[in-house]
């Protein structure tokens, strides 16, 4: 009986190790998503109406359920900037972000939803309720 229990224990340990290593959670193994830039691990620059817009998320790598600073520079300073963030591969509700303008940057706090799957979020920007037609996607690995 002890041999069977020992054998099952070893099989369970091996199976758990195999399952754990199957789901690599390091940001260095990002899938090919046709993203121009991976904001979850690096700052990005986007072209919007001929202007270069710098976007950063802090801290990196991006994690769900952590307070994240979304900083944008390069947009005109007279906007009442807002963002709506929605999952594109799974609906997780809508995250609304209000920005303040400080030292040439728009800054807002985001808390990304937690999910059991990797998420792709679309961030769309507005001046009040008027769409700016400026958006980008963020990949979030669970």
For the chain, give the percent of residues with pLDDT over 90: 59
Name the pLDDT band for 115 (thresholds 50, 70, 90).
Answer: confident
Segments forming the whole domain that contains residue 84 = 29-140
Tell me, yes or no, whether 74 lies in a domain: yes
Residue 95 lies in a domain: yes
C-alpha 44/C-alpha 39 separation (Å) is 6
- Output 36 or 129, whichever has higher pLDDT: 129
- Model pTM? 0.75
Average pLDDT for residues 49-56, to the nearest whole number? Answer: 95
Q: What is the CATH number of the domain that holds 40?
A: 2.60.40
Query: Does residue 4 lie within any of the structural domains?
Result: no
Residue 13 counted as domain residue? no
Sheet holding 105-111, edge to edge: 44-48, 51-58, 67-73, 105-111, 100-102
Question: What's the rounded Cα separation, in Å, for the pair 67 and 130?
Answer: 26
Q: In this structure, is residue 6 part of a structural domain? A: no
Instruction: Answer whether residue 14 is part of any domain.
Output: no
Would residue 109 count as lying in a domain?
A: yes
Residue 2 lies in a domain: no
Give the count of domains, the chain.
1
């Amino acid at each position: 009986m002890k041999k069977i229990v020992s054998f099952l224990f070893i099989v369970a340990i091996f199976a758990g190790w195999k399952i754990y290593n199957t789901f690599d959670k390091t940001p260095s193994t990002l899938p090919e998503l046709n993203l121009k830039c991976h904001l979850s691990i690096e700052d990005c620059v986007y072209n919007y109406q001929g202007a270069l817009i710098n976007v950063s998320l802090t801290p990196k790598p991006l994690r769900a359920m952590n307070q994240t600073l979304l900083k944008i520079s390069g947009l005109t300073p007279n906007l009442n900037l807002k963002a709506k963030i929605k999952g594109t591969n799974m609906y997780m509700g809508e995250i609304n972000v209000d920005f303040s303008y400080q030292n040439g940057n728009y800054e807002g706090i985001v808390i990304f939803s937690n999910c059991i799957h990797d998420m792709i979020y679309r961030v769309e920007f507005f001046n009040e309720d008027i769409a700016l037609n400026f958006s980008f996607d963020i990949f979030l690995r669970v």
